[in-house]
Amino acid sequence: MIKLAADLHIHSCLSPCCDDDMTPNNLVNMAYVKRLEAIALTDHNTAKNLPAAKAVADARGLVFLPGIEVETREEVHVLTYFETVEQAMDFGEYIYKHLPDIENMPDFFGAQFALDENDAPIYEEKRMLLQAVTLSIEEVAAACRARGGVPVPAHINRASNSLLYNLGFIPPDLDFASVEVYKHSPIEGVDLSPYHVIYNSDAHRLQSISEAENHVFVREKSAAGILAFLREKK
């Protein structure tokens, strides 16, 4: 097994709540400076900054895992990971079809820009990304898996938008192999022994990106290798 220092939950400037300087180049370079070996970009309900972030991460020699953090109908956040940017983009289009057509208020929530690999704006998303889609957590998990992806419930112990807070338990029928635990919140009375537990930053600003202190264990140093780890039952 290869031990990879990873941060698999990072937002970019396309997420409305995120700092504008979380550009593809800035976030990848910060991860590089922090000696991370693998990162995932997981914007809220969109995949549109993945192509640029993947190009920049490849150039830096970081393993890049394409992702989206979906907010389900139950207002639970689920990280969805894919082997390729194309699979993630396809899933992103599916998610977008189920995202209510409510306009973003850039002055209040922040602008939502997709950038190219030189951090130049290529698209402004006008629809509010930080809201629940109309799909249930079952539907999100199934659609992710149908595209070869792996769903991982996000920050399950946080006091909002989480499995334990919103639903009160980890539904066994959803068949999760991995869960993300938020380091800065307590977790009690939950048996995590059946799951791989991952810890990430959920960074919305550059300085919040993880130090090289959280790891995944892979057979292959690649996106496919990380997916296999997240998918494999303990």
Give the footprint of Zn ion on this chain (CB under 5 A).
69, 77, 154, 202
| Nearer CB in complex with Zn ion: 37/202 | 202
54: helix, coil or strand? helix
**How far is the C-alpha of 9 from the C-alpha of 177, rounded, in Å?**
17
For residue 55, what is the DSSP state?
H
The CB-of-142 to Zn ion minimum distance in angstroms stands at: 20
Closer to Zn ion at the Cβ: 17 or 120? 17
Q: What would the two tokens of residue 187 be?
A: 């977790």
Strands 63-71 and 38-44: parallel
Which one, of 31, 25, 29, lies nearest residue 9 by Cα? 31
User: 85-97 vs 50-60: helix axis angle to the nearest 10?
Assistant: 160
Question: Looking at this protein, which amino acid is placed at residue 36?
Answer: L
Nearer to Zn ion, 77 or 196 (CB): 77
Residue among 7 and 117 whose Cβ is closer to Zn ion = 7
The HSE-up count of residue 158 (CA atoms within 13 Å, CB side) is: 20
Q: How far is the CB of 202 from Zn ion (least distance, A)?
A: 4
Token pair in block for residue 147: 């595209």
Residue nearest to Zn ion as judged by C-beta position: 77
Task: Kindly tell me the sign of the dihedral angle through the C-alpha atoms of 66, 68, 69, 75.
Answer: negative
Min CB(91)–Zn ion separation in Å:
17
Closest distance to Zn ion from the beta carbon of 22 (Å): 12
Minimum CB distance to Zn ion smaller for 208 or for 222: 208
Q: Which is nearer to Zn ion, 186 or 221 (CB)?
A: 186
The CA radius of gyration of the chain, in Å to the nearest whole number, is: 16
In the complex, what is the shortest distance from the CB of residue 116 to Zn ion, in angstroms, rounded to a whole number?
Answer: 23
Least separation in angstroms between residue 118's CB and Zn ion is 25
